[in-house]
Copies of this chain bind each other. A is one copy, B any other.
């Protein structure tokens, strides 16, 4: 079963890993958010892409949710000694990825080609595709004005309230041939339990991408999302507070409403804790499945992936 999974960082990476576990080799394509990509130390960093890549390669650090397991920090330590910025922590082996990518981008390679090459080198059996090749940069407006995403997310620890979000460059972005082909040959679309605003939002902002998903759905391909908000709290990150400060409901229902408004979905997976919201989500026109959505170990990733695909199939039956 060929599956396209739209994903941000940690939550997206975990569900993608679950899907990779249960699908045949090559059947999974993950389309990752590039809105939080940025430049530091003259390198192009793609945090969500790399989290998904490392997770699918089995080399991600499990506890902190980013970077590589068994990482060392010699470069960062020396950068500190030189008086350089160290608020965005880059491990030694992680830096190899950024050096590899940055050089190829400077040569003129597409971000997608770099991603395919990295996945091949790390033996990843799935495709991990940037949502687009062009630069898209998420910015958030706070009481102090507009901030670059990583300034808000890492440097300021997501403390300020987000009053507005924009995806700079999205209007000029285009769906890559690889993303288009993956959606056209998909048998299910899965929206991972990532932040709906700043992880899935930028992906949906790439012109033509929602249209490709709409066309797939018209062919009978189910599109299903898993809520990343459980019991009114984001499993990780600021999605709950962001929904609230943007005037939306900080719950699985709020997530479902967003996706329905975008014309994205046929079905929705929420956590058992949120079963009381099922009727309201159904009222949005969605099939609903309730299950355990909190992925605490490798096995729970696979079982959530299995439940999600079976709910997706139910959605078209």
How many angstroms between the C-alpha atoms of A100 and B75 in the bound complex?
11
B-contacting residues, A82-128, CB 8 Å: 82-84, 92-93, 95-97, 99-100, 102-103, 106, 117-118, 121-122
Flag whether A296 is at the interface (Cβ < 8 A): no
Find the B residue at minimum CB distance from A70.
B74
By a CB distance below 8 angstroms, the chain B residues around A106 are 42
Contacts A42-B43, A92-B92; is A99 near B79 (CB within 8 Å)? yes
Contacts A42-B42, A72-B72, A72-B74; is A82 near B96 (CB within 8 Å)? yes
Asked if A72 contacts B92 (CB within 8 A), the reply is yes
Q: Which of B41, B43, B75 contacts A93 (CB 8 A)?
A: B75
Flag whether A26 is at the interface (Cβ < 8 A): no
How many angstroms between the C-alpha atoms of A74 and B72 in the bound complex?
7
Q: Is the interface of A mostly helix, strand, loop or mixed?
A: helix
Number of copies: 2
Asked if A78 contacts B92 (CB within 8 A), the reply is yes
How many angstroms between the C-alpha atoms of A121 and B92 in the bound complex?
21
Flag whether A219 is at the interface (Cβ < 8 A): no
Q: Which of B40, B77, B93 contacts A78 (CB 8 A)?
A: B93
Contacts A42-B43, A42-B106, A106-B42; is A99 near B75 (CB within 8 Å)? yes
* Residue in A41, A75, A102, A118 whose Cβ sees the most chain B Cβ within 10 Å: A75
By a CB distance below 8 angstroms, the chain B residues around A99 are 41-43, 75, 79, 84
By a CB distance below 8 angstroms, the chain B residues around A43 are 42, 99
How many chain A residues touch B (CB < 8 A): the figure is: 29
How many angstroms between the C-alpha atoms of A167 and B79 in the bound complex?
32
Q: What distance in Å separates the Cβ of A187 from its nearest Cβ neighbour in chain B?
A: 32
Q: What distance in Å separates the Cβ of A69 from its nearest Cβ neighbour in chain B?
A: 13
How many angstroms between the C-alpha atoms of A103 and B39 in the bound complex?
10
B-contacting residues, A38-58, CB 8 Å: 40-43
Bitwise interface map of A from 274 to 307 toward B, beta carbon under 8 Å scored 1, else 0: 0000000000000000000000000000000000
Given contacts A74-B92, A75-B96, A81-B122, 7 further A-B contacts (CB under 8 A): A42-B43, A75-B75, A77-B93, A77-B96, A78-B92, A78-B96, A92-B92
Q: Which residues of A contact B (CB under 8 A)?
A: 40-43, 72, 74-79, 81-84, 92-93, 95-97, 99-100, 102-103, 106, 117-118, 121-122
Q: Which 5 A-B pairs have the closest CB atoms?
A: A78-B96, A74-B92, A78-B93, A42-B103, A41-B99
